[in-house]
Amino acid sequence: MNAVLDLWTVLAVTAGAILFLAGTTGLLRFPDAYARLHALTKADNLGLGLVVLGLLPQVDSVSAGLKLLCIWALVLLSGATASQLIARVLLRRDTHS
């Protein structure tokens, strides 16, 4: 059982790290700001989510696990809201200048 849980941790954390790699690559290589925003949100939501899911079997109390999930939920909410707001700033800049 422990080996299975450890394997799950390794798989999920690796997938999360790869998404962070993809997010950075996108942020550096994509041609315009909207595409970069798209790359960023993938790294934000999925990368951190996979890391959190991978770490869940490693926590030693239920409250610590719940705290991890709370962090993910907070990042999901704030990331989604902030992306919308930043895209709106970009759109305003592009249409008014």
- The residues binding other proteins (CB under 8 A) are 6, 9-10, 13-14, 16-17, 20-21, 23-24, 27-28, 33, 36-37, 40, 43-44, 47-48, 51-52, 55, 58-59, 64, 67-68, 70-71, 74-75, 78-79, 81-82, 85-86, 88-90, 92-93, 96
With respect to other proteins, which residue has the nearer C-beta, 1 or 96?
Answer: 96
**Positive or negative, the Cα torsion across 49, 50, 53, 55?**
negative
